């Protein structure tokens, strides 16, 4: 069964004013749809057909550019939509909050580390909050559509929160002001979902 573009749990304009409706519509219906279609084409007739995206990425031959870019793109955007929500933001609670405090000292220090990873990723890429077996968390970034599930990237663990810093994610509204977009993202982080991701992968 081929991969399908996941439906959003909210309307394209639901994240305004932090992320504008036109950006959301193009990002989801064009970019993510493109990765999805290209992934399906790239794995058609191969051993990867029928496997989960997690299994495909974990055992990926990194020289396979079509699956690396489009499988990464499919997985990364699916996580991205899920970790955002209207009327969200604030701070995590419970065991995720405790893990963040253990690793960074405070939520504000985590926010600084994550924002810096996102702001300093040269060119296109992603910033991640990852959980490791045992519950420790860490922040890192990857270029292009790479992600921590792939082997050989300078970033490991299970991603529980991801931020797309490709220009297509923010340029219409923020132009070159990536730091403003990163700051705005914190107003739409769905910490309940991130906590769920943490709990199921720690």
Any alpha helices (H) in 20-147, and if so which ranges? 21-26, 33-43, 53-58, 65-82, 94-104, 107-120
Any idea what DSSP says for residue 166? S
* Identity of the residue, 146 or 164, whose beta carbon is nearer to Mn ion in the bound complex: 164
Shortest Å, Cβ 18 to Mn ion:
16
Distance (Å) of CA 8 to CA 15, 97, 190: 12, 26, 13
Nearer to Mn ion, 71 or 92 (CB): 71
What residue is closest to Mn ion based on CB?
164
> Alpha-carbon distance 166 to 143, whole Å?
9
Closest approach of Cβ 113 to Mn ion, in Å? 22
Site for Mn ion in 134-173 (CB under 5 A): 164, 166
35 is an interface residue for Mn ion by CB under 5 A: no
What is the Rg, in whole angstroms, of the alpha carbon atoms belonging to the chain? 16
Q: How far is the CB of 185 from Mn ion (least distance, A)?
A: 13
Spatial separation of the C-alpha atoms in residues 157 and 150, rounded to whole Å: 10
**Pick 78 or 116: Cβ nearer Mn ion:** 78
Cβ 17 to Mn ion shortest distance, Å: 20
- Cβ closest to Mn ion, residue 5 vs residue 199: 5
Which residues form the interface with Mn ion (CB under 5 A)?
164, 166
């Amino acid at each position: 069964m081929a991969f399908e573009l996941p439906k959003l749990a909210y309307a394209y304009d639901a994240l305004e004013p932090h992320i504008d409706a036109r950006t959301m519509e193009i990002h989801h219906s064009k970019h993510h749809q493109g990765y999805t279609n290209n992934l399906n084409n790239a794995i058609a007739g191969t051993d990867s057909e029928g496997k989960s995206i997690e299994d495909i990425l974990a055992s990926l031959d990194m020289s396979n550019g079509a699956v690396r870019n489009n499988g990464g793109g499919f997985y990364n955007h699916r996580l991205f939509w899920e970790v955002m929500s209207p009327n969200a933001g604030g701070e995590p609670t419970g065991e995720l909050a405790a893990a963040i405090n253990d690793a960074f000292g405070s939520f504000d220090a985590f926010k600084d580390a994550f924002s810096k990873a996102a702001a300093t990723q040269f060119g296109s890429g992603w910033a991640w909050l990852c959980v490791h077996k045992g519950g420790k968390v860490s922040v890192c970034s990857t270029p292009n559509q790479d992600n921590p599930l792939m082997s050989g990237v300078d970033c490991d663990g299970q991603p529980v929160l991801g931020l797309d810093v490709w220009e297509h994610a923010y340029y219409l509204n923020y132009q070159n002001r990536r730091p403003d977009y990163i700051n705005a993202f914190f107003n739409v982080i769905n910490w309940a979902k991130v906590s769920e991701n943490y709990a199921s992968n720690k």
